[in-house]
Structure 1
Amino acid sequence: MENLKKKLEEREGKWAEELSLVLWADITTPKVATRQTPFSPVFGAEAVIPSEVRVSTHMYGCIIENRNQVEMVSSLDTVDKLRTSAQIRMASYRQTVARSYNKNVKVRTLQVRDLVLRKVFQNTKNRQAGKFAYNWEGPYQVESIVGNEAYRLTTMEG
């Protein structure tokens, strides 16, 4: 999406010409989480830029159509293995990202009678206040500890 936004902002009114190029670049670029292109786990093969097919390169100059069909069928047989390895890599990537995100988090347990603020969520936010609405409300006092990091709160008036 960032690539698409950058390219379209550069071209202003001529975004129609750039759209297909940006989308193709996204399809042919390996993603960090899976180390594969989005095309490969779906179809079992890598996406190819049309100019690579037209120009006779070593990779495509040696392809025989019958052999290509056999290899495509065999790659479809291994697509489940490819998807499984992509899922494993994604799970590992998520853990790595979570670990780096959480390394600066400091766990803080609250005690009874501590004063806290409560986050205002979308369903409890005052719609008339617009974007200047408060993100936090309170103060509240911790009345009791209900469970694992769950607390019963009361207002200062009780």
Structure 2
Amino acid sequence: MTPKEGTGVTPFHLVYGGEAVVPVEIGVKSNRIQHYNEENAEWRLLELDFVDETCDKAAVQLMAYRQRMTQNYNRRVIPRSFQVGDLVWKKVKPVDDTIKLEAPWAGPFKVMEKLRSGSYYLEDEDG
């Protein structure tokens, strides 16, 4: 029932080509329900013909939304890289999984080799 920010339309509209009528609207007799007639059935069939076009438009909007989100994220992220010999901490638990005063990190570990961007071979500081 709620249009999604990324696509601009509701998921129901993407699947069925029109908006859903909720039971509350049937009981309240909204404007959409009161003015329904046989011509609306023809309009509904016409809407169904444009479902693919609606999905294509939503896909374009979603790609643009994702690009905006990526740009916003990249503006705030602080790139970090480590060199061989640096001492680092390794995350062993998600922060939400830790008990009060329990550290979600283990270490220190020594960077032995840089494998690929953001990936390192670590060895325990003790050897």
**Which of the five TM-score ranges fits, normalised by the shorter chain?**
0.7 to 0.9
Contact 1:115 1:139 in 2 (8 A): yes
CA–CA separation in structure 1 for the residues paired with 2:83 and 2:43: 65
Superposed, 1:3-42 pairs within 5 Å as 27=1, 29-42=2-15
Aligned residue among 97, 102, 108 for 1:139: 108
Alignment RMSD (CA, Å): 2.7
Letter in 2 for 1:75: E
Aligned residue among 112, 117, 120 for 1:151: 120
Letter in 1 for 2:8: R
Q: Quick check: which one's helix share is greater?
A: 1
Contact 1:141 1:153 in 2 (8 A): yes
Greater relative CO, 1 or 2 (CA 8 Å, sep 6+): 2
Q: Could you give the per-residue CA deviations for residues 28-53 of structure 1, whole angstroms, max 9, x where no partner exists? A: x3221111122211110123461698
Contact 1:116 1:140 in 2 (8 A): yes
Superposed, 1:5-154 pairs within 5 Å as 27=1, 29-48=2-21, 50=25, 54-55=29-30, 61=35, 64-65=37-38, 67-121=39-93, 131-132=99-100, 133-154=102-123
Please give the TM-score of this superposition, normalised by the length of structure 2: 0.78
Percent identity of paired positions between Structure 1 and Structure 2: 34
**Which residue matches 1:8?**
none
Stretches of structure 2 lacking an aligned partner (at least 5 in a row): none
* Greater shift in the superposed pair: 148-157 or 94-103: 94-103
**Which residue matches 1:24?**
none
Letter in 1 for 2:9: Q
- Secondary structure of 2:6's counterpart equals coil
- Secondary structure of 1:82's counterpart equals helix
Please give the TM-score of this superposition, normalised by the length of structure 1: 0.65
Using a 3 Å threshold, how does the CA distance of structure 1 residues 72 and 156 change in structure 2: closer, same or farther? same
Letter in 2 for 1:71: W
Stretches of structure 1 lacking an aligned partner (at least 5 in a row): 1-26
